[in-house]
Amino acid sequence: MKFKLGYKFNNKQLLETALTHRSYLNEHKGKNLTSNERLEFLGDAVLELIVSLYLFCKYPFFAEGKLTSLRAKLVQTKTLCLVSQRLKIGLQLKLSRGEKESEGAKNPSILADTFEAIIGAIYQDSDFQKTYDFVEKNLLVPSEKLFKAKLPQDYKSKFQEIVQSKGLPSPVYKVLSSYGLDHDKTFKTIVFVNKEKYAVGVDKSKQEAEQKAAKKALEKMV
């Protein structure tokens, strides 16, 4: 192989299948070949679970909406294509002559789908942990650097770190009041440290109100 995935397959056929585009089968009928579509189906589901778990654990104070947005950026075709290009997966693809001539090996959709198929193949060949490690190393860590500057600030974590470094108990957040219709409420939240009021935050979601309270608390401490 001209590329290194950082994973050694026990069943090499799984990798071969993951690299086989459906167009290749049309020119090799009767050879008992299988395209990567089923592995892609599996890999897509496993990838979404891995990315969801990674983000859920890494950003404990992010609301569901932000987690969903970050996951979408990580699993989008553009991001997966970049990973495939970095791993030189296009050089190993089994494509029909026509697909090769139309530069299918550089097609973002094909490269992204193949990466998902490889994830499915690794999961079939090993277990969830090894698949998680592969995705973390090749997708999550490198890709996060690309959009980290755009990540919303986690003021709660920063505030908690500073408070605990001073030997104080962890901050406590309480909703002081809420108003508005059920589908359009506004929350006023207060943050306490050692029963002392530090700051108040107001927003349409409880999580964001807490973040704003933590931000104000941090500004007071500077």
Domain of residue 113, residue span: 12-150
Residues 87 and 142 in one domain: yes
3-class state of residue 35 by DSSP: coil
**Active-site residues: which are they?**
44, 116
One-letter identity of residue 77? T
48 with 107: CB under 8 angstroms? no
Residues 137 and 74 in one domain: yes
In this model, does residue 90 exceed pLDDT 60?
Answer: yes
Give me the percent of the chain exceeding a pLDDT of 90: 54
* β-pair partners for 16: none
For the stretch 91-117, pLDDT in tens is 999 998 888 888 888 999 899 999 999
What end-to-end distance do the CA atoms of the chain give, in Å?
A: 55
Residues 51 and 134 in one domain: yes
Task: Say which CATH number the domain at 191 has.
Answer: 3.30.160.20
- The predicted pLDDT at position 55 comes to 93
Residue in this structure with the two tokens 């409880």, named with its chain if needed: 206
Q: How many domains does the chain have?
A: 2
- The predicted pLDDT at position 220 comes to 82
Give me the percent of the chain exceeding a pLDDT of 70: 94
DSSP 8-state secondary structure symbol assigned to residue 91: G
Residue partners of 3: CB distance under 8 A and separation at least 6:
87, 88, 89, 91, 92
Boundary (domain end) residue, out of 99, 124, 150 = 150
Residues 119 and 173 in one domain: no
Residue 163 located in a structural domain? yes
Beta-sheet pairing, 196-203 with 186-193? antiparallel
* β-pair partners for 207: none
Residues 110 and 22 in one domain: yes
Mean pLDDT, the chain, as a whole number?
88
Quick check: pTM over 0.85? no
